[in-house]
Structure 1
Amino acid sequence: MSDSIVDGMTNTAENPLFDYSPITERPALHWPGDARVAVYLGLNIEYFLPDRPSTSIWPGTADLVPDALNFGWRDYGVRVGIWRTIESLDRHGFRASALVNSAAAEHYPQIVKAGLDRNWAWLAHGRTNSVLHTGLTRDEERRELTDIVDTIAAATGRPPRGWMGPGLTETFDTPALLAELGLDYVLDWTNDDQPYRLTVPGMLSVPYTVELNDLLLFSRGITGPEFVRMVRDQYEQLRADSAHGGRVMALALHPFVIGQAFRAKYLDQALEYLAAQPDAWVTTSDDIAEHYLRTVRQR
């Protein structure tokens, strides 16, 4: 049947949050200083509950309470890995786009201070990465988002402008509710190399990546040298594509993955390469969204 029902929706249902827009049919996008590729680092700063299963390196113990093996692996990121990662960002002049759980903002004030000292951009990343942002009524979600945003604002001294849900989760109401709270953009829809406007007035989707993402790459057996090669390949192709308009390159980092000692030099090599590109705009997701909203007319 052409209109078969899947999970209560027909297969002809359209996404109400954005329209189809082929990148080949858009006006050229221009970055500051005639840069060709806007490059930002999405640094995931996450809080995990010790009695809930979550991202795991070994599924065999994931349902145990406590799950010392997997929780300890995740916890390494905020205790050790992030400080190693920060050293590399500092060395090559990168400001992080910090994707912070509101619970992480409360529990890890030393990390917040390090980010404030470096003028990081702060994005709301849900409450905790042990719980996906789904299954909420509109009123429940409004209360949840308000508390998340207020908690991050209190910890950092500034309200977040962007959102990425834990596990890139949101509801169809999320962008409108975020707009009510003063946010400008989401990262969850990883379907483009340029920002684009959502159907919610004033809200953008800014590119993020589940491909050039340390958590997924290294879990598939990618090696450090292969990671560096992929970063170079990504930039080179996006730069070539930018002959028809500026592109965005996101690099997604998790301190419990990239912050492991044996991977540190490969992150350093990747950042050294990106920082050396004369036509790269090394920036944050906040600045990408702000530039787009200010310079690109709504179509």
Structure 2
Amino acid sequence: MTNQTPAPPYDYSPIVDRDPIVWPDGKKVAVHIGLNVEHFVFDRPSTSIWPGTAELTPDALNHGWRDYGSRVGIWRTIESLDRHGVRPSVLLNSSVVDAYPQIIAAGVDRDWTWLAHGRTNSELHTGLSIDEERRVLAEITETIRTATGRSPRGWMGPGLTETHRTPELLAELGYSYVLDWTHDDQPFPLTVPDMFSVPYSVELNDLLLFCKGLTGPDFLQMVVDSYEQLLADSATSGRVLPIALHPFVIGQPFRHKYLDQALAYLAAQPDAWLTTTDEIVDAYRAQL
């Protein structure tokens, strides 16, 4: 018996060979804000701005940097989202439910779309047996459902991590899409029945951009440039513009106004559909 080489959970499909996608009301570019609402375990190495202290306990420098998002940055970001009428697609660590209940309450009041984003971003979703993973996913799902009143339909792993079984196990729990595969400008079916991929970005992503030295004006220009190119591409079929945000990054005072300007720009575009990942996958599935 030969060993089967693992394959990604999707088939190759060049964008030029697909049936056209039509977004609601004749819109051309579906824009979603992927708002990462995360919890990091104290005294465990996690996302860091300065690796020199990441292994220390306590690591006041990096933990404080991350914690700025839940204490300050998220509230500044919420003000801007509200001002421009944008409902984010929230990538939620389930441990946020206990750690920051005020954020959950704010999102419920605003009818945010909730996606599961693992338990904590201090743990990657990897190295699990099938039984362990089934239990972990069920616990994450139930925690979010109980806190928000809705079962999440979308998944993005912490650090965009999955096992080879994750899409299949998510389908068992009633999920319909993942954001982990960042390689397309459109939704598409996975090889797991009734499961889809929805675009997310590790390029137009504040955490990666600003930690490489780019500035607020750079971020704003990238949003504009991305929208203009996708709008041009949409002459043949609808496109998706994902913008990935982390409150401890974009919520810093010297960056915030550029997010606000980017949202103002997008809200003023007649061909932009400011929407959520749930609505994107529903509109796409209805056309299959």
The TM-score, its normalising length taken from structure 2, stands at: 0.98
User: 1:93 — aligned with what?
Assistant: 85
What value does the CA root-mean-square deviation take over the aligned residues? Answer: 1.0
Equivalent in 76, 82, 104 of residue 74 of structure 2: 82
The 5 Å alignment of 1:33-182 reads 33-182=25-174
SS in 1 for 2:234: helix
- Give the AA of the match of 1:191: H
* Counterpart selection for 1:261 from 249, 253, 260: 253
List alignment gaps of at least 5 residues for structure 2. Answer: none
SS of alignment partner, residue 39 of structure 2: coil
1:199 to 174, 179, 191: 191
Alpha-carbon distance, 1:172 to partner: 1.0
User: Which deviates further from its counterpart, 81-90 or 285-294?
Assistant: 285-294
1:280 and 2:260 are equivalent in the alignment: no
Runs of 5+ in structure 1 lacking a partner?
1-8
Q: Which amino acid aligns with 1:72?
A: G
Count the aligned residue pairs. 286
The CA distance in 2 between the partners of 1:107 and 1:61, in whole Å, is: 24
Residue 294 of structure 1 aligns with which residue? 286
* Partner SS state of residue 244, structure 1: coil
What percentage of residue pairs aligned between the two structures are identical?
Answer: 69
- Alpha-carbon deviation of 1:16? 4.3
Give the CA deviation at 1:61: 0.2
Matched-pair contact (CA < 8 Å) for 1:106–1:155: no
Q: 1:249 aligns with which of 241, 244, 250?
A: 241
Paired residue secondary structure (2:95): helix
1:208 aligned to 2:213?
A: no
Stretch of structure 1 that moved more, 286-295 or 262-271: 286-295
Displacement of 1:105 in angstroms is 2.0
TM-score, normalised with respect to structure 1: 0.94
Report if the CA contact (8 A) 1:106-1:151 is conserved. Answer: no
1:29-79: CA deviations, max 9, x gaps?
A: 000001000000000000000121010000100001111100000000001
Hey, what's the Cα distance between the residues in 2 that align with 1:246 and 1:174? 28
Aligned to 1:270: 262
Find the aligned partners of 2:16 and 2:275 in 1 and give their Cα distance: 25
- The question of whether the paired residues in 2 share the 8 Å contact of 1:47 and 1:101 is answered with yes
1:106 to partner: Cα distance: 2.3
Q: Distance in 1 between matches of 2:30 and 2:97?
A: 27
Q: Check 1:214–1:288 CA distance in 2 against 1; reply closer, same or farther (3 A cut).
A: same
Tell me how far 1:14 sits from its aligned partner: 5.6
1:223 to 215, 225, 228: 215
Q: Measure the CA separation in 2 of the matches of 1:244 and 1:130.
A: 42
What is the distance in 2 between the residues matched to 1:247 and 1:191?
A: 13
| Per-residue deviation, 1:259 | 0.3
